[in-house]
């Protein structure tokens, strides 16, 4: 096997942390690595919310083009950014061991919580905005795009009272001292894939290199959970700007999964749970999505897609 593995990544500090983490694991098992930085649409357009620029591949498309052109061997992504359906000729071959999956409130005030009055929260996530409207309707939100360091700077400048972010990124970047509240999964169920790094490659990558990468990087429990979660997202046909959520957790040989969708205004939330054997992970995710759609999720999703298509047209 050619032991050089070219790793494609976005250029943010968090993405580079993830790329270096992947590289070190590969190096420990004898591979040579090269990190290749590419800018994505989502990194370059920062003056519009994700829902207004379209969600399809905004953080992955350029990396996927490089895979198909054989300019890189693998692309590393935050798994929550990866579309539910990959382009032809691409596949996911590994998911790294999952971090704590919770959303957290980050603030310069260590006593800040979502119960505080007159609270302004920064977030670029439609899921988080919708869940705030549902559970904490008194909270005002402001759109907060940019890399983690940019958002922290805006927080410190007083543009908001707190930020809602994933624990994983905060932990990896060394900001855990700024966490003022860890949100309960029961209310703020994370999006599909939060807390793990996905490894994507071209189908044409050599078999021995694929097997080596998978052996080194893939965590079986995380991969099983992501199989269920991504099957949910695929069946729902939701992108990363749809306020859906799903979390599959392994308990011995069983998967316990909760998932759902919330309307943009927070008025309606549909949430279902399902448990089954881990070997049925994909079917569990599919069945759960079908339950959610039948219980009112279809109407929520159709309304959201109309609203977001109008937003995209208005901004073109």
Output the CA torsion 54→59→61→66 (10° steps): 170
Half-sphere exposure of 277 (CA within 13 A, CB side): 2
Cβ-based neighbours of 142, under 8 Å, separated by 6 or more: 120, 121, 122, 159, 160
Cα 161 off chain centre by = 24
The conformation of residue 296, written as its DSSP 8-state character, comes to: I
Residue 275's DSSP bridge partners are 256
Longest dimension (CA), the chain: 60
> Which three-class secondary structure state does DSSP give residue 193?
coil
Task: Return d(Cα 115, Cα 133) in angstroms, integer.
Answer: 13
The crossing angle, in degrees rounded to 10, of helices 220-236 and 281-292 is 30
302 part of the active site: no
**Catalytic residue chosen out of the listed positions 81, 103, 116, 161:** 81
Task: Return d(Cα 132, Cα 116) in angstroms, integer.
Answer: 13
Task: Return d(Cα 141, Cα 162) in angstroms, integer.
Answer: 10
Known catalytic residues are 81
């Amino acid at each position: 096997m050619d032991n050089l593995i070219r790793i494609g990544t976005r250029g943010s500090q968090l993405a580079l942390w993830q790329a270096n983490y992947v590289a070190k694991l590969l190096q420990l098992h004898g591979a040579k690595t090269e990190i290749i930085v590419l800018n994505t649409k989502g990194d370059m357009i920062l003056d519009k919310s994700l829902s207004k620029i379209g969600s399809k591949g905004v953080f992955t498309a350029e990396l996927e083009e490089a895979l198909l052109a054989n300019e890189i061997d693998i692309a590393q992504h935050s798994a929550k950014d990866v579309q539910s359906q990959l382009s032809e000729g691409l596949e996911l071959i590994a998911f790294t061991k999952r971090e704590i999956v919770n959303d957290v409130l980050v603030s310069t005030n260590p006593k800040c919580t979502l119960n505080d009055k007159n609270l302004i929260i920064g977030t670029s996530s439609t899921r988080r905005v919708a869940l705030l409207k549902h559970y904490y309707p008194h909270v005002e939100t402001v759109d907060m795009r940019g890399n983690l360091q940019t958002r922290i700077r805006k927080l410190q400048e007083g543009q908001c009272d707190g930020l809602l972010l994933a624990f994983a990124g905060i932990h990896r970047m060394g900001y855990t001292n700024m966490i003022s509240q860890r949100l309960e999964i029961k209310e703020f169920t994370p999006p599909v894939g939060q807390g793990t790094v996905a490894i994507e490659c071209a189908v044409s990558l050599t078999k021995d290199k694929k097997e080596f990468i998978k052996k080194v990087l893939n965590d079986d429990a995380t991969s099983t959970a992501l199989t269920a979660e991504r099957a949910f997202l695929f069946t729902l046909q939701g992108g990363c700007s749809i306020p859906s959520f799903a979390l599959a957790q392994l308990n011995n040989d069983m998967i316990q999964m909760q998932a759902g969708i919330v309307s943009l205004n927070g008025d309606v939330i549909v949430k279902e749970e399902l448990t089954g054997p881990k070997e049925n992970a994909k079917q569990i995710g599919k069945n759960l999505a079908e339950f959610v759609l039948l219980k009112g999720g279809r109407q929520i999703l159709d309304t959201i897609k109309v609203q977001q298509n109008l937003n995209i047209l208005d901004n073109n």
